[in-house]
Amino acid sequence: MLSYIIKRSLYMIPTLILISMLVFTLIELPPGDYFESYVAQLLASGETVDPQKIEFLRREYGFDLPPYQRYFKWVIGMVQGDFGYSFEYQLPVREVVGDRLWFTIFITFCTIIFTWLIAFPIGIYSATHQYSWGDYGLTFVGLLGLATPNFLLALVMMYFAKEYFGTSIGGLYDPEFIDQPMSWAKAMSILEHLWIPVIVIGTSGTAGMIRRVRANLLDELRKPYVTTARAKGMPEFRALIKYPFRMSLNFFIADIGSILPSVISGAEIVAIVLSLQTTGPLLISALQSQDMYLAGSFLMMLAFLTVIGVLISDIALAILDPRIRLAGGVSR
Amino acid sequence: MVIRKLTMALVIALSFSLFFDFQIVRQSQAGEAPDFAQMVANGKLPPLEERLPENPLVVDFDAEGKTIGKYGGELRMLMGRAKDIGQITVYEYARLIGYDINIELVPDILESVDSVDDKEFTFKIRKGHRWSDGHLLTTEDFRYYWEDVIKDPELGRQGVPSAMLVEGEEPVFEIIDDLTFKYSWTKPNKSFLQALAGPSPVWIYLPAHYVKQFHAKYADPEKLAAMVKEANVDSWAALHTRKTRQRRPENPDMPTLQPWQNTTPPPAERFVFVRNPFFHRVDSEGNQLPYIDKLHVDIVSKDVIAAKTGSGESNLQARYIRFDNFTFLKESEEKHGFITNLWTTGKGSEYALYPNLNTKDPVWRGLMRDANFRRALSLAIDRDEINEVIYFGLASPSANTVLPQSPLFREEYREAWSYFDPDKANELLDAAGLGARDDDGVRLLPNGERAELTIESAGESTEETDVLELVAAQWKAIGIKAFVRASQRDIFRRRAAAGETPISVFFGLNNGVAAPTMSPEELAPVSPAQLQWPSWGEYYETGGKAGEPPDMPEAVELLDLFKEWKTSADVEEQTVVWHKMLDIFTDQAFSIGIVNNTRQPVVTSSNLRNVPEEGIYSWEPTSYFGIYRPDTFWFEE
């Protein structure tokens, strides 16, 4: 087991190097650079631009160097914990991301719990009462959540929250708590705002989750061991939870790998519409303005978390399901 | 008779003495903010007389139609990006010399500005004028900028600002005494004062006493090295640049001359600006400005700004609000206690079409260079329809030219090819060699292809898309099939500059309220950012190193006139040049204006005073709220 973990960890290194090259190339691909979009932005607001100053800035930030040199500068800095400099914010990337990371993790965590709380009972009910009215009805509601555009739902809910509960529009708390230390009142204000993104992001995830729980559970329920358990007089609920449900969770553990990156990227579009102080809008605006170190370091962080997430889910699967073998390819 | 004279004299003397008494009483009442008075009482702050310059700038409240205010309150504003705190410096608008409410240049921070033939500029600082930390403002602060920043081998690498160069010549900087200094050139520099008065001015001064700690020449090497390390930058020069930004007041420790000073280091969601206790302006009763205690600038996603403003979360908002938000804002006014006024946008045209005379496609280039083709495109646009459909009829149809508020306005410029006359347009197109049409009624180009024209846009707003849709429909009637291609700002610019765009759409002239003393650079091919002649502009800007020289007589003439303006002796000459340029620019339809005088909703809290109901909302020359002096705004309880 230990050697498996070490081997898997070592595999991560070349994977990450490849990803870093890919990310850098992707960011370099669109024509122009940050300064070009900066100039365009100044012109759009009517400002004039001193061309020699832009030229100076370009040199100052090393944009006259060939791409490979810039790549190495970026990668070496990252290894040392320096994620580069955001041109847009004129600050080190680490400071820009700062608090937003914690808010994002918090929101996503709440959303995931919300999704599970809704999806598991419904999924189990649908599987055990297949093709009943309840199955159809609940699945319909879940699919409705999937089909409604998130941003629209966000706008509508924001409007009603303002109109009926007096919740301030957008953000994670009322404006008077900005830059205030955490307090009871601030925590309440956060809760007051939190339910909107949680429901909006959550509804889109529940439908998928319901279907997967239902399908996996249905597979298991038809297996002979369930029939045997029933024949032996095991109580219905126990016969459901003890084995079939556990077996149907494999997909769910394998899913952890993809949950981790979404924890820090959040749901970007919803976050923009709701003006949440999360990292998603940051990533999008960085990509738009070609703020390359901010965008690049961010994507690298996502890649790193994905790789870690996949590792964790592989290990967890191996532990939880004894049928899974560690060494593959031998029987071939 | 004698007695009468005597009584007269007595009366006059009496009234004078009364007047003086009155003045003295007023003086002693001359106010300051209560919290400052408290600090003075506690000895934490020098008394008001020592904080104000000997000769403060007295804002003429009567002339500007303002009322004397009360101190206090917090002004909340919403901004869409962290770097928008640079916008606050635009609103604050304390400049060495600035535009007043009549768009005339008057000394602001400086006591006086004297120029000899626009070659020698003598500036005088107000005696006793202090930075926000209480240090005196002196010529040293200007010397530091010129000698230790611009002339420094490290810091000066970004070169002399172009406003301080006349055909490559640098000024001679001289200090006359502690308060007087001089810049001189051998040739006139017409745009120097304008550059100092701009919304984003050339900052030719720095608080030397503060910034010297970041300069290798003055600082203790060990301390400086430690600071460079702490800030995680490459060199002291980078540290200096970062710590001394003035447009974006990111360093809360840096003293300022603006009415409010930022106290929040980025990154933050809310930037708090507090009143500068040494601000140099007073109201007409001698009370120190600004009235408002604090500015709160909240950074939120720009897409929710209109909605947040509509729920009363901003006290003063125009940025990120568009005309199509107007009805929504009006509706929520009463419930949330604010007023929505409509200011005039200061642009020459809300949107203008720019036929690219440097486009690569030879057929289209030929057509775009044909004045009659451009005129036909302009005549085919039914501006009244666009005005009614999109602007509720509140705008005015016009060519891309100055607004009626400008002293240079003439009816003929506005009317130039901007009336609706499809018959004439058809005639002109027939004459331009586009007589043949196919079965769909689309004209055929000289090479036999259909006249299908792609209008490229930066995709900034849905309003623009709506306008273009109408234009495309109207052009269809004269046999030109137009498509709209929205891309992204910098890609749009890049394509236009490379000549890949036959025609593009963008805002019209930035300064629609231009005066003869302001530079007519927008009318001549001088910058690669100009969408109708990017490569001619590049040729001028790079001094012939890149781009192509203009080869159309009218464009050459505009360029010559622009050079003439720069060397002209007085305002009369400048006026003549401006009119010649406007005449050519509009008659040639080098850009096709649609409507101007469009409206910008300005939301103010109903208890916020001294914000005019009507104004010109533009970058230059009004600096948005700048010339309306936010330091005089106040809250009534």
- Check CB contact under 8 Å for A91 and B267: yes
Q: How far apart are CA A145 and CA A266, in angstroms?
A: 18
- Collapsing DSSP states into helix, strand and coil, what is residue B320? coil
**Does residue A267 belong to the interface with chain B, where contact is any CB pair within 8 Å?**
no
Return the percentage of chain A with pLDDT > 70, whole number.
95
CA distance B269 to chain A (A): 7
Report the pLDDT averaged over residues A208-222: 87
- Give the pLDDT score at A330: 45
For B550, residues 6+ apart whose C-beta sits below 8 A from its C-beta are B525, B533, B536, B539, B556, B559
- Give the pLDDT score at B26: 39
- Check CB contact under 8 Å for A49 and B529: yes
| Pairing outcome for strands B74-79 and B294-299 | parallel
Q: How far apart are CA B540 and CA B547, in angstroms?
A: 8
**Does residue A98 belong to the interface with chain B, where contact is any CB pair within 8 Å?**
yes
CA distance B308 to chain A (A): 6
Name the residue in chain B with its Cα closest to that of A30.
Answer: B491
Q: Can you say how many angstroms the Cα of residue A79 is from the centroid of all Cα atoms in its chain?
A: 23
- Give the pLDDT score at B289: 92
Name the residue in chain A with its Cα closest to that of B314.
Answer: A175
Is the backbone of residue B93 left (phi > 0), alpha (psi -120 to 50) or beta?
Answer: left
Task: Provide the 8-state DSSP code for B297.
Answer: E
Q: Which two tokens stand for residue B338?
A: 């604010």
User: Is the Cβ–Cβ distance between B249 and B207 less than 8 Å?
Assistant: no
- Check CB contact under 8 Å for A169 and B81: no
For A24, residues 6+ apart whose C-beta sits below 8 A from its C-beta are A67, A71, A74, A296
- Give the pLDDT score at A186: 83
In total, the C-beta contacts within 8 angstroms joining chain A to chain B are: 115
Local confidence band at A266 (pLDDT 50, 70, 90 cut-offs): low
Q: Which of A135-144, A238-247, B63-72 has the highest mean pLDDT?
A: B63-72
Q: How many residues does chain B have?
A: 637
Q: Which two tokens stand for residue A155?
A: 């706008």
- Give the pLDDT score at A168: 78
Q: How far apart are CA B64 and CA A285, in angstroms?
A: 41
Report the pLDDT averaged over residues B362-377: 93
**Does residue A96 belong to the interface with chain B, where contact is any CB pair within 8 Å?**
yes
Q: Has residue B23 got a pLDDT over 70?
A: no
Q: How far apart are CA A317 and CA A314, in angstroms?
A: 5
- Lowest pLDDT segment from A177-186, B298-307, B308-317, B442-451: A177-186
- Lowest pLDDT segment from B106-110, B486-490, B591-595: B486-490
Report the pLDDT averaged over residues A147-176: 82
- Check CB contact under 8 Å for B266 and A89: yes
- Check CB contact under 8 Å for B311 and A162: yes
What is the maximum span of chain A, computed from C-alpha positions, in angstroms?
86
Return the residue in B162, B239, B301 with the most chain A beta carbons within 10 A, the one to mutate for interface testing: B301
Q: Has residue A73 got a pLDDT over 50?
A: yes
Report the pLDDT averaged over residues A258-284: 76
Which residue matches tokens 């005005």?
Answer: B387
Q: Exposed/middle/buried for B443, CB within 10 Å: 0-12, 13-18, 19+?
A: buried
User: Is the Cβ–Cβ distance between B202 and B196 less than 8 Å?
Assistant: yes
CA distance A297 to chain B (A): 17
H or E stretch including B397? strand B396-397
Compare CB distances from B158 to A31, A53, A171 and report the shortest one's residue.
Answer: A53
- Check CB contact under 8 Å for B489 and A281: no
Residue B408 to residues B335, B455, B517, B615: CA-CA distances in angstroms? 43, 31, 11, 19
Q: How far apart are CA A69 and CA B254, in angstroms?
A: 36
**Does residue A281 belong to the interface with chain B, where contact is any CB pair within 8 Å?**
yes
Q: How far apart are CA A63 and CA A55, in angstroms?
A: 9
For A301, residues 6+ apart whose C-beta sits below 8 A from its C-beta are A264
Positive or negative: CA dihedral B14, B20, B21, B26: positive
Compare CB distances from A170 to B266, B301, B493 and report the shortest one's residue.
Answer: B301
**Does residue A95 belong to the interface with chain B, where contact is any CB pair within 8 Å?**
yes
Local confidence band at B2 (pLDDT 50, 70, 90 cut-offs): very low
Residue B346 to residues A46, A197, A295, B88: CA-CA distances in angstroms? 11, 40, 36, 19
- Give the pLDDT score at A265: 63
- Check CB contact under 8 Å for A275 and B303: yes
User: Is the Cβ–Cβ distance between A283 and A265 less than 8 Å?
Assistant: yes
User: Is the Cβ–Cβ distance between B297 and B88 less than 8 Å?
Assistant: yes
Compare CB distances from B269 to A40, A89, A277 and report the shortest one's residue.
Answer: A277
* Of B545, B507, B548, nearest in space to B525 by CA: B548
- Check CB contact under 8 Å for A82 and B248: no
* A positions 130-149 inside 8 Å of B (CB): none
Which residue matches tokens 């995830």?
Answer: A205
Higher pLDDT, B91 or A285: B91
- The β-bridge partners of B453 are B482
CA distance B390 to chain A (A): 21
**Does residue A288 belong to the interface with chain B, where contact is any CB pair within 8 Å?**
yes
Report the pLDDT averaged over residues B339-357: 93
CA distance B305 to chain A (A): 9
For B173, residues 6+ apart whose C-beta sits below 8 A from its C-beta are B142, B143, B146, B147, B181, B182, B183
Chain A CB contacts of B158 under 8 Å are 52-53, 56-57
Q: Has residue B16 got a pLDDT over 70?
A: no
| Pairing outcome for strands B120-125 and B281-282 | unpaired
- Give the pLDDT score at B30: 65
- Check CB contact under 8 Å for A169 and B313: yes
Opening angle at CA B56, ends B53 and B58, nearest 5: 170
Return the residue in B490, B494, B495, B513 with the most chain A beta carbons within 10 A, the one to mutate for interface testing: B490
- Give the pLDDT score at A90: 79
User: Is the Cβ–Cβ distance between B489 and B476 less than 8 Å?
Assistant: no
- Lowest pLDDT segment from A37-51, A238-252, B284-298, B619-633: A37-51
Q: How far apart are CA B131 and CA B207, in angstroms?
A: 7
Q: Has residue B342 got a pLDDT over 90?
A: yes
CA distance B527 to chain A (A): 10
Return the residue in A275, A292, A293, A294 with the most chain B beta carbons within 10 A, the one to mutate for interface testing: A275
Amino acid at A267: A
Q: Can you say how many angstroms the Cα of residue B286 is from the centroid of all Cα atoms in its chain?
A: 29
HSE (side-chain half, CA atoms, 13 Å) at B627: 26
Q: Backbone phi, then psi, for B476, in 5-degree steps?
A: -60, -35
Q: Does the bond joining B153 to the residue before it have cis omega, within 30 degrees of 0?
A: no
Task: Provide the 8-state DSSP code for B606.
Answer: T
Q: Has residue B5 got a pLDDT over 70?
A: no
User: Is the Cβ–Cβ distance between A118 and B112 less than 8 Å?
Assistant: no
Q: Does the bond joining B47 to the residue before it have cis omega, within 30 degrees of 0?
A: no
Looking at chain A, the number of H-run helices and the number of E-run strands are: 17, 2
Which residue matches tokens 């007087």?
Answer: B180
Higher pLDDT, B459 or B305: B305
Q: Has residue B19 got a pLDDT over 60?
A: no
Chain B CB contacts of A31 under 8 Å are 491, 494
Residue B115 to residues A234, B163, B182, B192: CA-CA distances in angstroms? 101, 16, 9, 11
- Give the pLDDT score at B201: 92
Q: How far apart are CA A234 and CA B370, in angstroms?
A: 91
CA distance A206 to chain B (A): 27
Q: Has residue B21 got a pLDDT over 50?
A: no
User: Is the Cβ–Cβ distance between B272 and B77 less than 8 Å?
Assistant: no
Return the residue in A29, A47, A56 with the most chain B beta carbons within 10 A, the one to mutate for interface testing: A47
Q: Has residue B553 got a pLDDT over 90?
A: yes
- Collapsing DSSP states into helix, strand and coil, what is residue A111? helix
- Lowest pLDDT segment from B135-139, B467-471, B537-541: B537-541
- Check CB contact under 8 Å for B490 and A37: yes
Name the residue in chain A with its Cα closest to that of B512.
Answer: A46
Work out the mean pLDDT of chain B and round it to a whole number.
89
* Of B462, B558, B457, nearest in space to B507 by CA: B457
- Give the pLDDT score at B484: 92
Chain B CB contacts of A32 under 8 Å are 490-491, 494
Q: Which two tokens stand for residue B467?
A: 């306008």
Q: Exposed/middle/buried for B442, CB within 10 Å: 0-12, 13-18, 19+?
A: middle
**Does residue A53 belong to the interface with chain B, where contact is any CB pair within 8 Å?**
yes
pLDDT tens-digit readout, B206-225: 999 999 999 999 999 999 99
CA distance A48 to chain B (A): 9
- Collapsing DSSP states into helix, strand and coil, what is residue B514? coil
Q: What is the pTM of this model?
A: 0.85
Q: How far apart are CA B188 and CA B184, in angstroms?
A: 9
pLDDT tens-digit readout, B87-122: 999 999 999 999 998 888 999 999 999 998 889 999
Q: Backbone phi, then psi, for A303, in 5-degree steps?
A: -65, -45
- Check CB contact under 8 Å for A179 and B270: yes
Return the residue in A29, A43, A155 with the most chain B beta carbons within 10 A, the one to mutate for interface testing: A43
HSE (side-chain half, CA atoms, 13 Å) at B457: 22
Q: How many residues does chain A have?
A: 332
Strands, E assignment, B157-223: 172-175, 180-184
H or E stretch including B5? helix B2-29
Amino acid at B255: P
Q: How far apart are CA B502 and CA A183, in angstroms?
A: 59
- Check CB contact under 8 Å for A52 and B159: yes
Chain B CB contacts of A43 under 8 Å are 493, 529
- Give the pLDDT score at B608: 94
**Does residue A331 belong to the interface with chain B, where contact is any CB pair within 8 Å?**
no
- Give the pLDDT score at B423: 94
Query: Can you list the alpha helix ranges (DSSP code H) found in B498-549?
Result: 534-541
Q: How far apart are CA B523 and CA B588, in angstroms?
A: 11
- Check CB contact under 8 Å for A175 and B313: yes
pLDDT tens-digit readout, B27-79: 445 688 998 999 999 989 999 999 999 999 999 999 888 999 999 999 999 99
Residue A111 to residues A102, A206, A259: CA-CA distances in angstroms? 14, 10, 11
- The β-bridge partners of B437 are B443
Contacts of A230-239 spanning 24+ positions with Cβ under 8 A: none
Q: Which two tokens stand for residue B576?
A: 């003549």
Q: Has residue B22 got a pLDDT over 90?
A: no
CA distance A259 to chain B (A): 26
Report the pLDDT averaged over residues B151-176: 88
Higher pLDDT, B147 or B1: B147
Chain B CB contacts of A163 under 8 Å are none
- Check CB contact under 8 Å for A89 and B157: no
- Check CB contact under 8 Å for B493 and A43: yes
- Give the pLDDT score at B6: 47
* Of B627, B591, B587, nearest in space to B611 by CA: B627
